[in-house]
């Protein structure tokens, strides 16, 4: 039994890691609405969610049966085989979930567990069938096929149901209350909030109590017998209470709903998803206990005992809840996954985490066509009424304590939480492992759609983001099945060395992805900062961002020049990649200028006249940088003749001169030394003279037949693009210098 005790120890060690990794991904499910609407301080939101998680862990005992016997028939597997499957499941789960956390993609821990169990069970079944001389069709006899179909179909149905219910409820709610909902809330808000909280009480505290490890059977029976009376009483009491609060106090009752919904959704998450993190280890512990108590050959004993219901020790649940709560407070990946959902659902424009795609563009065009059909068949009067009531521009402008406006308002947040917690709790009550991620994400996206958050400026990026996330869910299922299938084979045939090797690989993977995640989030934080908006007194900060942009551009230029000279495809590829990132960064710099223009006060007008010229300069830099990197990369990729020694020397001299110009401008912008414009101008003039001389030499080489046509074109084009970049850099320095002079002098210039 020592070998199996070792496996059990690894399983519980991986369970601790899986709790941390898994909760980091699932935290978005219950934190998204409260954080996005800024319903309260982060401390208050985290405390509320933590309490919900703790209470929810006591409701999860019924769901733990899914891991023990919900996927495969334990009576057809031996103790040895079951332990291997459970170990493969946990090792796969850690790697898979951490991969999604690294790239800030919300995925389903339920789907990963279910398909890992299927993959492990199929692998072990195939091993048994092959050993008995059967064919692959015999594998299905080992699986609880009916249960698997029910689980998978319920997960798939939850996606569609969540979207339909979410968009319907949000549309009706917004139609009734509009974006300027506070006026109407004074008289009908009490009934709305009371009905929402009553639904939460019913689905979480009543239905969810069926799996509780705390309530006794007699208490559950009393609740079931008096359910109608309880619900009516709760609704009446809450309506009276909320109406009194609305009329007599300044309490925002929607914040109560959001906090209650956060608690409820955290509770539902823990009740439904705890099995995803500790289900396999608890199943292995049960199997180990059965093995210890059995006489004879333990390894070959069958595991029909796993089908019997077991009441989990509450201390295991409490410890698991503590780890989950700790993860909420300390995990950086949990915050980044949350930001992904918030960026897709926010009401206003901002930095988009996803690019466009052909499929997203097609969907948006189709939606626009459907909207044209709606306008053609709907009376104009009705269109006008609906449009006015659903106009986001009528919403009052709010900002949080940090000065940043919320991603969406409290009304949408309340719908998100009430709908999602209700749907998830129904699944929990019927012991269906609905994906909390699927439900909450689809509800959040559907309410965003109903709220017209996906305007034409952002729709294609948001739609592509949703497609990416949903596509990732299918990838989750395929990866979970495939990787666990392979791990099961490896452990079965490789034994202890294979186990140790996979554990080492898992640890290496975890620490390596942490580094990747840190780099990605630092880059995105920089982009968010660029778009966050700048006031007049922050113009210096924006000029420093431009300085860093020019420094990075110089590195891309260096890669293009050296890559061309050496015919080094790797250097050119890196330069092209850097150029693409700089193109996005340039868009954020331009977005910040435009946002400044929209929010500028009378005192700020001194810095706005030259916004158009700054934008044009940034666009010219980006366009020439992109053309330079793509042109040199394409030249080398097509295996054309590299520059000769004379051309190489000239290119390096031009690059060195361009580098001095960009470093001079960047340093001046960083240190606010705007009086260095003359020096930068002189450096550009030297560059232009140098390029004219090298152009003359190149013409001479062409006349003497020493330079091929394509070689000449790439040489001349490379020089001219570098000249334009340097020229625009000096223009930017001059423009920022003039803006700061006007700001300091308090000059109110007419708008250009």
Within 10 angstroms of residue 247's Cβ, the number of other Cβ atoms is 10
Q: Report the distance separating Cα 220 and Cα 212, nearest Å.
A: 9
The answer as to whether 413 is a domain residue is no
Q: Report the distance separating Cα 334 and Cα 650, nearest Å.
A: 51
Distance from first CA to last CA of the chain, Å, rounded?
83
pLDDT at 307: 67
The 3 state secondary structure assigned to 13-50 is HHHHHHHHHHHHHHCHHHHHHHHHHCCCCHHHHHHHHH
pTM of the model as a whole? 0.71
**Which neighbouring-strand residues pair with 718?**
none
Q: Report the distance separating Cα 160 and Cα 173, nearest Å.
A: 20
Q: What residues make up the domain containing 304?
A: 2-356+452-522
pLDDT at 184: 78
The answer as to whether 125 is a domain residue is yes
In a shared domain, residues 581 and 518: no
Mean pLDDT by 10 residues, the chain (752 residues): 81 80 71 85 87 76 53 80 88 84 75 85 88 77 76 79 89 87 79 81 61 65 78 88 85 85 80 72 79 72 70 72 81 70 75 77 87 86 86 75 76 87 69 73 88 80 85 85 92 89 83 70 58 50 83 91 92 91 81 66 51 85 91 91 90 91 88 82 89 90 84 89 91 83 54 38
pLDDT at 724: 92
In a shared domain, residues 509 and 601: no
In a shared domain, residues 466 and 579: no
In a shared domain, residues 220 and 333: yes
In a shared domain, residues 516 and 537: no
Q: Can you say whether the dihedral through the CA atoms of 515, 517, 521, 524 is positive or negative? A: positive
In a shared domain, residues 515 and 537: no
The answer as to whether 194 is a domain residue is yes
In a shared domain, residues 511 and 540: no
**Nearest in space to 11 (alpha carbons), one of 303, 318, 279:** 279
Query: How many independent structural domains does the chain possess?
Result: 2
H/E run at residue 129: helix 109-131
Q: Which long-range contacts (CB under 8 A, 24 or more apart) does 290-295 make?
A: 290/79, 291/1, 291/4, 291/79, 292/1
pLDDT at 606: 47
The answer as to whether 424 is a domain residue is no
Beta strands in 560-629 (DSSP E): none
Q: Report the distance separating Cα 376 and Cα 557, nearest Å.
A: 53
- For 332, how many CA atoms within 13 A lie in the half-sphere containing its CB? 13
Beta strands in 627-725 (DSSP E): none
Q: Report the distance separating Cα 383 and Cα 386, nearest Å.
A: 5
Residues 6+ apart with CB under 8 A from 84: 7, 120, 124, 488, 491, 492
In a shared domain, residues 543 and 470: no
Query: Considering 489, 522, 555, which residue would you say is the last residue of a domain?
Result: 522
Residues 6+ apart with CB under 8 A from 42: 35
The answer as to whether 394 is a domain residue is no
The answer as to whether 71 is a domain residue is yes
Q: Report the distance separating Cα 415 and Cα 422, nearest Å.
A: 11
Burial class (CB in 10 A: 0-12, 13-18, 19+), 319: middle
Query: Considering 493, 522, 551, which residue would you say is the last residue of a domain?
Result: 522
Q: Report the distance separating Cα 77 and Cα 303, nearest Å.
A: 6
Q: Can you say whether the dihedral through the CA atoms of 60, 64, 66, 69 is positive or negative? A: negative
In a shared domain, residues 642 and 691: yes
The answer as to whether 381 is a domain residue is no
Token pair for residue 431? 């012991």
Q: How many distinct helices (H) and strands (E) make up the chain? A: 24, 0
pLDDT at 358: 86
In a shared domain, residues 254 and 170: yes
Check: CB of residue 575 under 8 Å from CB of residue 556: yes
Residues 6+ apart with CB under 8 A from 489: 123, 127
Virtual torsion, Cα 363, 366, 368, 374, nearest 10 deg:
-130
pLDDT at 467: 87
Reduce the DSSP state of residue 143 to 3 states and report it: strand
Q: Report the distance separating Cα 229 and Cα 665, nearest Å.
A: 74
In sequence order, what DSSP letters do the residues of 154-165 get, joined into one string?
HHHHHHHHHHHH
Query: Considering 477, 496, 522, which residue would you say is the last residue of a domain?
Result: 522
Q: What is the CATH number of the domain that holds 737?
A: 1.20.58.220
**Which neighbouring-strand residues pair with 143?**
72
The answer as to whether 380 is a domain residue is no
In a shared domain, residues 28 and 173: yes
pLDDT at 310: 58
In a shared domain, residues 477 and 595: no
């Amino acid at each position: 039994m020592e070998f199996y005790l070792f496996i059990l120890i690894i399983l519980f060690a991986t369970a601790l890691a899986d709790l941390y990794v898994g909760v980091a991904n699932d935290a978005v499910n219950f934190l998204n609405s409260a954080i996005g609407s800024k319903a309260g301080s982060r401390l208050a939101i985290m405390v509320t969610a933590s309490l919900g998680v703790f209470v929810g862990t006591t409701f999860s005992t019924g769901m733990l049966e899914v891991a023990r016997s919900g996927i495969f028939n334990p009576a057809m597997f031996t103790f040895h085989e079951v332990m291997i499957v459970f170990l493969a499941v946990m090792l796969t789960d850690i790697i898979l979930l951490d991969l999604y956390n690294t790239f800030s993609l919300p995925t389903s821990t339920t789907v990963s567990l279910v398909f890992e169990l299927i993959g492990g069970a199929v692998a072990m079944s195939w091993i048994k069938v092959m050993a008995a001389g059967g064919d692959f069709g015999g594998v299905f006899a080992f699986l609880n096929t009916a249960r698997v179909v029910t689980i998978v179909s319920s997960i798939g149905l939850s996606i569609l149901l969540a979207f339909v219910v979410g968009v319907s409820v949000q549309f009706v709610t917004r139609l009734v209350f509009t974006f300027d909902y506070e006026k109407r809330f004074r008289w009908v808000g009490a009934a709305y909030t009371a009905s929402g909280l009553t639904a939460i009480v019913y689905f979480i505290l009543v239905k969810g109590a069926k799996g509780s490890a705390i309530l006794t059977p007699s208490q559950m029976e009393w609740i079931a017998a008096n359910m109608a009376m309880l619900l009516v009483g709760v609704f009446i009491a809450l309506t009276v209470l909320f109406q009194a609060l609305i009329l007599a106090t300044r309490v925002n009752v929607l914040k109560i709903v959001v906090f209650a919904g956060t608690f409820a959704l955290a509770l539902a998450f823990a009740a439904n998803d705890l099995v995803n993190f500790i289900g396999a280890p608890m199943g292995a512990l049960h199997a180990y206990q059965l093995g210890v108590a059995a006489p004879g050959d333990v390894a070959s004993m069958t595991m029909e005992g796993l089908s019997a219901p077991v009441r989990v020790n509450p201390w295991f649940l409490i410890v698991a809840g503590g780890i989950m709560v700790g993860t909420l407070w300390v995990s950086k990946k949990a915050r980044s996954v949350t930001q992904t959902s918030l960026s897709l659902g926010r009401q206003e424009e901002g930095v988009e985490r996803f690019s466009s795609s052909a499929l997203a563009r097609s969907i948006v065009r189709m939606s626009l066509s459907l909207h044209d059909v709606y306008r053609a068949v709907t009376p104009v009067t009705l269109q006008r009424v609906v449009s006015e009531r659903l106009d986001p521009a009528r919403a009052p402008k709010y900002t949080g304590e940090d000065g940043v406006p919320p991603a969406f308002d409290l009304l949408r947040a309340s719908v998100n939480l009430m709908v999602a917690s209700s749907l998830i709790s129904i699944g929990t009550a019927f012991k269906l492992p609905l994906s909390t991620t699927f439900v909450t994400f689809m509800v959040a996206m559907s309410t965003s759609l109903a709220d017209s958050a996906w305007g034409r400026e952002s729709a294609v990026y948001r739609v592509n983001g949703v497609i990416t996330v949903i596509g990732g869910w299918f990838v989750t299922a395929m990866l979970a099945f495939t990787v666990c299938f392979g791990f099961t084979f490896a452990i079965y045939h490789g034994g202890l060395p294979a186990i140790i090797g996979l554990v080492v690989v898992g640890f290496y993977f975890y620490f390596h992805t942490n580094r990747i995640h840190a780099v990605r989030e630092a880059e995105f934080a920089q982009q968010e900062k660029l778009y966050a908006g700048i006031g007049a007194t922050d113009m210096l900060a924006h000029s420093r961002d431009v300085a860093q942009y020019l420094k990075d551009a110089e590195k891309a230029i260096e890669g293009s020049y050296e890559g061309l000279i050496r015919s080094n495809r790797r250097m050119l590829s890196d330069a092209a990649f850097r150029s693409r990132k700089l193109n996005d960064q340039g868009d954020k710099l331009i977005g910040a200028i435009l946002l400044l223009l929209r929010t500028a006060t009378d005192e700020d007008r001194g810095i706005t006249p030259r916004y158009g010229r700054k934008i044009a300069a940034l666009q010219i830099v980006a366009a020439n940088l992109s053309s330079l990197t793509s042109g040199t990369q394409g030249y080398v990729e097509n295996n054309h003749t590299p520059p000769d020694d004379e051309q190489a020397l000239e290119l390096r001299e031009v690059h060195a001169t361009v580098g001095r110009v960009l470093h001079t401008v960047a340093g001046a912008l960083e240190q606010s030394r705007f009086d260095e414009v003359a020096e930068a101008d002189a450096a550009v003039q030297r560059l232009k003279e140098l390029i004219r001389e090298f152009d003359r030499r190149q013409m001479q080489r062409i006349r003497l037949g020493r330079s091929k046509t394509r070689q000449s074109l790439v040489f001349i084009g490379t020089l001219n693009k570098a000249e334009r970049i340097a020229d625009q850099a000096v223009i930017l320095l001059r423009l920022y210098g003039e803006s700061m002079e006007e700001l300091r002098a308090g000059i109110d210039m007419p708008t250009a």
